Structure 1
């Protein structure tokens, strides 16, 4: 973009200079301006283009044009110079529609889009709607780029928890990563876990290689290492997502592990390999310990620790007694005003008006009562009459086998429950005086136990308070003892540090002496090692030649044996072609087995087995028929019992209904008896 804008700017300057320099036709046809507004370096107040009118004349010329030009979608300025600039701008935008973003630009735009969505989105706004609004502001016009960034935004929002777990574990394991690249790692992790098959590995490699290799190398090593993901990330993922979903993610990572290894090797070459142009590359930072100098001051004596003094709050300020002079003067003025008002309204001239209409007799209260009664009568709620329940049908419903069994089971259960109630009632008819006596004794024991428990808790609280006081005193004494011990340890550590510094100097001198001695014997040792390697190489070469000869001889022997076997097999095949087999149904195979028999004997045995199976089938049929008859008799008996129970229940219901009707008719109405 920088080169293109610079090129266009150069053309604009050339055209502007050409227009001012030589042509007298009005405006420039050779130059093109990249902006509608001229810069300070292009502004020449003394010279004006003949085709470019002042602002007032241009406004008047636009108003004089026809109405169709003002309603048109594409405006063409009446100024020829401005019209050429507008045409150039439209052509530049049209060419930009077919331009795709570079991998680095695509990644940067995706990061900006996700960050702005998290900070500026409105409540309830979906990622696709937000992307449609904000992508034109980031100069993303190609349809492929728009679709890719929409999918990245939607995926990072939907799988935010999955990506957050991965980033947390990665930052825990790799301490060299910075949080400035967190959004970049989020986008690349989403593409690697869920979109790598659709994106294809070459496109993903372009995105990775467009970033600094020092920041991408630890990320690629961790994300495409299946063992690291299983040890540190899989358990947290399984706590949130389905285990099959997690396995699919790990399977996709395993599928691209070989390609990822190649990318890691390429990144390592770019990070650790020397610069081919011979430029200086800053070495990596190596942590070094601080050079701590030994203090020569005497260890200070710590003062004895003393508990702080208790805090005492200041007393509240005393209020002044009596009212102030200003309040007293205001009170006097208020009192005088009240007296003046009282004298004024005591005068008969200032009494309220006397109305004759109020003193005349009226029947307003009676009319109000009548209107209210009429309103209540008109608006009285009359409840709806309830229709009587319809009569029960007399036709009995035909029952199937399942319904009959269920109803019989219910009747049998009800009879069993009634029987148990009667037996329990007979067993519980006894005197309860023993139970009440036992209950009273237990109540007395509970009261005694409660009193003992209360006394025990009171003494326990007192003992706990005393123990807390003693523990506090003991803690203060231990703290003072620890302070004394710390001072003693500080003195001892000071002496120890001095002794260790002396020992370290002695060790360094000894190490230097040993290194100097070792350097003298390095040349002799190298010559001995070279001789030993040369002798070992000759031995290995002789052994390899001997093994090669043996293997060649063994292969020749094996080949001769195989050829002999092939000749024997071909001779056997020729002999087998002329042999004819005869089969006898009355003869057996002659293998010496226990169940060995001929074909004729086997057919006879099969006929006997079929007869025996037919006999077994007849026996089973007779048994099934007997079971069906028994079940039918059982159902008839149960249907008789159910019918009898229904008749009894209907008779009970009819008697209850008749009893209720009798009492409803004999109910006495007091109002009718008194004649009201």
Structure 2
């Protein structure tokens, strides 16, 4: 770094001597070369090259440096003007030749704060692409400026931004300038009184630990009630699935016609039996029974919540009875009307489902007719597509031949360029090797100097450590003894000795224990009263549950009787119209198949048709299963 710093300093000195009003650049360069005869030829060539470049592109460099002083460098000295010109010249014209490593070494040899400011201003992409490019275009052509100067600067953006961050870190981590050593204070020994001997404290009694309670059996063994509930749940599920299986089989027998549906119903019966076969039957050793009056454990929140629910229901019932006594009307008429409307809605829903099924059949008949026309159109389109693809393939083959010829010409040109590039690279490598050797020699000298300075610093630290240890080994006076029964005598209100303070603290602990015991007794009594209230509420809940279960069973019997009654056949005009249209389309399709001028469509395979019908019936079966499960849940909840 010192090597490049000296070179840059000589360039700045020569630029300071140059006066554009009097001196001619060629004569000035000759005079400078004669004055630099004492330097090595490598240094002399570098200095003269940089000096000539700064003089040749002085107008371009002045645009950037003047703008830097106006916009960002208010605090920079005017004497550093030539320094910024040299850095601008190296970054703009010599960065590709020098290489980024050599350029960063030159930057580090200069003041870091000034370099950070100037590089951040120069390599700002907004400035390069806007006003710098416009100002340089006034002096040179725009294409030459953008190709030779602006584009290389934009290409070196990431490396330069990383260099700026490294310089900022170095600036923040720099140690402050060494201050003048102040006069060392001489330590003096404190004049302390001799402490009194400490009294031996009274040992505290060892607390007696209470025996822990044994671990209950319910921690590792589940309760019997849970097993009983699981068995009843499985039994009820098996019963419900058996009932659902019977209902579904009867419905499918009624829905499917005998001519084509006998085999389908038998197959679906087998599938449903396998599907709804209870898993309990696979274990022959288990016995199933329906236990009665299984107790269910409830926590406090559940008991209070259910008790308040039944209490609200009782209050509502009492209010309804009071209103009836006062002369209010009954809801029987409204309930009858509601039942009629629900039956009407159910009939409409069944008619709509039948309409959807018939529409599907009608669309199938229409699709068979439309398929013939679609096949003919597809055949014509396929022929046209084949002709177009043949033409496109011929055009692609011609393009490939032209591209191969152009690629051969490009390869020959690239080979010629690579031969010239290798010669230039060999020359550049020789110059760089010489520079690297000089840098290595300078770094060795710097390492030797730093090693000597580190040895001196280590010796000084060892001496200081020895002095500190000698001070630590000097004998120290022991502390004075303390009498715990003596009052300090500071003149404070309520002053007492340590022994008296301990006795008072012991009395306070005893009073706190008495208060805690009284509070514990109150809490136990409150818990007993609360548990008694919860027990009474549980009894009321069990009575309410029994009454609600009886009413739910009655409602379920009524619904079952209503659902068992067969409904009248559907007489909706939409259903009749759809059936008529299906018969007409089927007759038309048979006529076209019998006439034979148009090629009849390929008959659908029996397997996919059977699969579609079976899928339709399975979906219908699943929907009915969902309805039955919803009814069962509503009954259980009620």
- Report the TM-score when normalising by structure 1: 0.26
Between Structure 1 and Structure 2, which shows a larger proportion of helix residues?
Answer: 2
Higher RCO (CA-CA < 8 Å; seq separation 6+): 2
